[in-house]
Structure 1
Amino acid sequence: MTKEQINKLLTAGQFPEPCNPVLVETHISWVVIGDHYVYKIKKPVHYSFLDFSTLEKRKFYCEREIALNKRLTEDLYLGVQPVRLLSGGYIIGGEKGEIVDFSVEMRKIDNDLQMDVMLPKNSVTKDDIRRLAEKIASFHKHTTIMYDKDLFDIQKKFNDLGSEKPILIESINRSMGAVIDRAIKVSNEFTHKNISLLTNRLNNGYVRDCHGDLHTRNIFLFPNPQPFDCIEFNDDYRQIDVLNEIAFLCMDLDAAGRQDLSDLFVKFYNDLFPAMRTAEEYQLFVYYKSYRANIRAKVNSLRARSAGNETEKTDWLRQSEGYLKLMEQYINLLNSE
């Protein structure tokens, strides 16, 4: 679908339930939020890391998204609904009309239960962290082990931050260029120095088919926590070391000023699934946290490029700067050893 067609769906479309739909747009999806249900429609885009360019591919990845997310959620992902064109109007669901696209249908959940919303209210408890650690550790224990992965893939992704250096230098300050250059240098040295550790972890089954995007915005803290919105569009982003997986969540907690919760999660998780047993593995965990801060800095820089106004651009760049500083803190820990 196009943005024009999406707008027509919003203003004059038909939904399985009567509702007043609201649109949330990302760089790869249109998310139409109704009163009780949510419909996620993939944009017809083709990037180096994903391909939603054809109707068939979008249907495939809708089905893939549901199958993968059902591993960690209950009664949240409901199914794939066609988007149809009938008599000049757009309909989600039904049997009549030409299928023009597909949507992932989800149950709408109160966002007050999202972890990132709860954190500023200081309403995330020790029991929440324990239950979340239990959920993730159990998932990691039972998900598929991957034995054939590129050990230097993460280094390549880390180095991609260099492509954003010009805008970050220009828009934030020139010192960010030195921070990025040094981080890339330390990353290259660390991965080459620890190739035996990375190889052993791959051979010993610590690289698994994970969630891939485990941060606080993607977790509903029910009594049985529900991590959602895992990565379906690229297996390499999801099939990672389990330490890389939990590093994203812990980096996110560190960024929110809750290192206490980050440390608590690691303790609970590692007691249940001992994935970090040595000083070298702890250093690897810190490296993965630097990588996750790196990725967040890059993503926010890209968002700043496409911001609709200067206020929005400034906000994204401010967040990017914060993640660069956090990345630098982690890099300093690696460099101090």
Structure 2
Amino acid sequence: MKPVDSFLNRAELVSKSEAETHAEVAAFLSCPASYPHHPDEVRVVETHTALVFMAGEYVYKLKRPIALDFLDCRSLEARRRNCQSEFAANHRLAPGVYLGNVPVTREADGTLAISGSGTPVDWLVVMRRLDQANALDQRIAAGLVSISDVDRVCRTLAQFYLSQPPIMTSPVGWIALWKEKVAIVRTSLSDPSFGLPEDEYQAPLQAIEQFLARSSGLMTTRLAQGRIVDGHGDLKPEHVYIGEQVLIIDCLEFDERLRWEDPFDEIVFLGLECRRLGAPWIAPRLVDQMAQLLGERPPEELLRFYRTYRACMRARLMIEHLRDEAPRTPEEWPRKARLYLKFAIEALSPGDQS
């Protein structure tokens, strides 16, 4: 089974030889016989930045040799470093899940091998495979999430946040980073080629820009209080596993600055995604429990800013899929972007707790 890698249709992002090698490695990893533990089958999952090979009890992640606005993995060395960063970042919230980094090698006879004696042609992140039924998004879909489940997630996250040293950066640098992130969101959502109605994105964008201009002191106060830590960076329901132990995978690995976060920003994002999946009750529970466990709660104005920004940011990520050479389900991305913009507008209301 050879996976379709539509992202590599953009030839300007990678050399022909690199693209051919990537396709060869992907085909090799799609075959059960390629693995030392001989799984019965291999299921391939595509993400924006990687191909994920579900091979029996293990998972192997292959980075795409592409350049996007937030990372550049075109070189073998860049992919090796990215794999190392992912392994290091994820030990914190998923102990025992991430097993290491191994090369795909070109052997003397020209064949490929996983961790062979030949020359590395690519690198993999190796993980222990988790039971998908325990993922929070799957439990929401099955109607199996309880209040105690949410509280367990909060306890795991609170313990993690309290163990992280505060980020040491200047107030000017902190606000500059936020302005940079918001500017990127505006550039995408206002791009006329996407055709998003101005009345759907203008109000929330103006609200978050005005907050940064007039109320940024709330954010620099959080920084001065040591509330900003190296967090997860991409806290979505599909990354949260609720089994005997709460495990949280897929920390954002390519830019540590994008993991510099207020814990309440992260859990607001998790609550937003739970709402999208049909469980809006989880969002206020997350905030209330985290406030109790951390012993403090940000002002509601700041929480509203986080909700609005996160919804706009997700709208931006949805609509950006249309820049792909051959986007999958192109009709879906504007619909999803407009749903998030609806959430962003609703978050402007002082009474909104989602």
Identity of aligned residues (%): 26
2:340 corresponds in structure 1 to 323
In the TM superposition, residue 308 of structure 1 has moved relative to its aligned partner by 4.5
Match of 1:15 in 2: 35
What are the Cα deviations for residues 196-222 of structure 1, in whole angstroms up to 9, with x where unaligned? 211111111011010111110111111
Secondary structure at the counterpart of residue 152 of structure 1 = helix
Q: 1:143 to 1:309 in 2, by over 3 A?
A: closer
| 2:207 is the alignment partner of 1:190 | no
Partner of 1:288: 306
Question: SS of the residue aligned with 1:71?
Answer: coil
Contact 1:242 1:275 in 2 (8 A): no
- 2: CA distance, partners of 1:309 / 1:134: 39
Task: Give yes or no for the alignment of 1:117 onto 2:164.
Answer: no
Contact 1:129 1:265 (8 Å CA) reproduced = yes
Deviation per CA, 1:157-177: give whole Å up to 9, x if none: 223233333668855xx6x31
CA-to-aligned-CA distance 1:217-250 (integer Å, 9 cap, x gap):
1111113211110011001110122221111111
Aligned 1:230-309 pairs, distance under 5 A: 230-277=251-298, 281-306=299-324, 308=326
Q: What RMSD, in angstroms, separates the aligned Cα atoms of the two structures?
A: 2.3
Other-structure match for 1:71: 92
> What TM-score do the two structures reach when normalised by structure 1?
0.89
| Structure 2 residue aligned with 1:49 | 70
Asked whether 1:6 is paired with 2:25, we answer: yes
Which of 138, 163, 167 in structure 1 is aligned with 2:187?
163
SS of structure 1 residue aligned to 2:51 = strand
Give deviations 1:258-306, integer Å, cap 9, x for gaps.
22121112121111103415xxx22211211111111211111122443
Amino acid at match of 1:313: P
1:27 alignment partner, SS class = coil
1:178–1:142 CA distance, 2 compared to 1 (3 A) = same
The offset of 1:11, in angstroms, is 5.1
Partner Cα distance (1:136, 1:166) in 2: 35
Report how many aligned residue pairs link the two structures: 327
Return closer, same or farther for 1:232/1:80 CA change in 2, 3 Å cut-off: same
Match status 1:154 vs 2:178: yes
Instruction: Report the more deviating stretch, 281-290 or 16-25.
Output: 16-25
> TM-score, normalized by length of structure 2?
0.85
Alpha-carbon distance in structure 2 between the residues aligned to 1:53 and 1:247: 33
Q: 1:186: Cα distance to partner?
A: 1.2
Q: Residue 98 of structure 1 aligns with which residue?
A: 119
| Further displaced range: 48-57 or 162-171 | 162-171
Structure 1 unaligned blocks of 5 or more: none
Secondary structure at the residue paired with 2:34?
A: coil
Find out whether 1:29 has 2:50 as its counterpart.
yes
- Whole-angstrom CA distance in 1 between matches of 2:136 and 2:216: 35
Distance 2:292 2:26 in 1: 50
Distance in 2, Cα, partners of 1:179 & 1:334: 20
Matched letter for residue 36 of structure 2 = P
Contact 1:28 1:42 in 2 (8 A): yes
Residue 18 of structure 1, CA deviation: 0.9
